Structure 1
Amino acid sequence: MFGINDIPKFFLAFFLVLPIISFVHEAGHVFFAWLMGGKNIKVTVGSGGVLFRVGMLELRKYYFWYGLCTFDNLKRNERFSNILIFSGGAIFNSLAALIIIYLIENKTLEPGIITYQFTYFSLYYVFFALLPMPYPDGNQSDGKVILDLLRNKEQVKTYRVQWSGEKSQWCVLDHDRNLVQAFDDEEQAVTKAHEVAQQNRPSRLVNSKSGKETEVGNYPKVPL
Structure 2
Amino acid sequence: MITFGFADFISLVISAFIILPIVVFIRESGYVIAGMLFGIKNPRITIGTGPRLVRVGMIDIRKYYHLYSWFSYDDLTHKSKWIYVCIYSAPILTNIVVGITLNLLIVNDVLEGMSSFWDRFIFYIFYYVLFDVVPMRTLNGKPNNGMIIYEMIRYGKRTDFCPEPFLPSTTDTEEEIKNQDKPAKNKKN
TM-score range, shorter chain: 0.7 to 0.9
**Are 2:176 and 1:141 equivalent residues in the alignment?**
no
Paired residue type of 1:138: G
Paired residue type of 2:15: A
Question: Aligned partners of 2:102 and 2:133: how far apart in 1?
Answer: 21
TM-score by length of 2: 0.78
The equivalences for 1:201-212 within 5 A come to: 201=165
Distance 1:152 1:17, change over 3 A: same
Q: CA deviation at 1:200?
A: 5.4
Larger Rg: 1
Structure with a larger share of its residues in helix = 2
The one-character-per-residue Cα deviations of 1:3-53 (angstroms, maximum 9, x if unpaired) are: 224121111101110000000000001110111111010110111211100
Partner of 1:166: none
Question: Aligned partners of 1:98 and 1:77: how far apart in 2?
Answer: 31
Aligned counterpart for 1:34 among listed residues 33, 36, 42:
36
Question: Aligned partners of 1:76 and 1:134: how far apart in 2?
Answer: 27
Aligned counterpart for 1:6 among listed residues 8, 31, 41:
8
Asked if 2 retains the 8 angstrom alpha-carbon contact of 1:14 and 1:64, the reply is no
Structure with a larger share of its residues in strand = 1
Unaligned residue ranges in structure 2 (runs of 5+) = 167-189
Question: Aligned partners of 1:14 and 1:76: how far apart in 2?
Answer: 37
Q: Once the two structures are aligned, what percentage of the paired residues are identical?
A: 29
The one-character-per-residue Cα deviations of 1:127-174 (angstroms, maximum 9, x if unpaired) are: 001121112223210000000011025268xxxxxxxxxxxxxxxxxx
Partner of 2:130: 127
Asked if 1 retains the 8 angstrom alpha-carbon contact of 2:152 and 2:158, the reply is no
Unaligned residue ranges in structure 1 (runs of 5+) = 157-198, 203-224
The equivalences for 1:190-205 within 5 A come to: 201=165
Partner of 2:51: 49
Aligned counterpart for 2:62 among listed residues 51, 60, 67:
60
The one-character-per-residue Cα deviations of 1:196-220 (angstroms, maximum 9, x if unpaired) are: xxx9547xxxxxxxxxxxxxxxxxx
TM-score by length of 1: 0.67
Partner of 1:181: none
Question: Aligned partners of 2:42 and 2:141: how far apart in 1?
Answer: 23
Paired residue type of 2:144: S
Asked if 2 retains the 8 angstrom alpha-carbon contact of 1:19 and 1:63, the reply is no
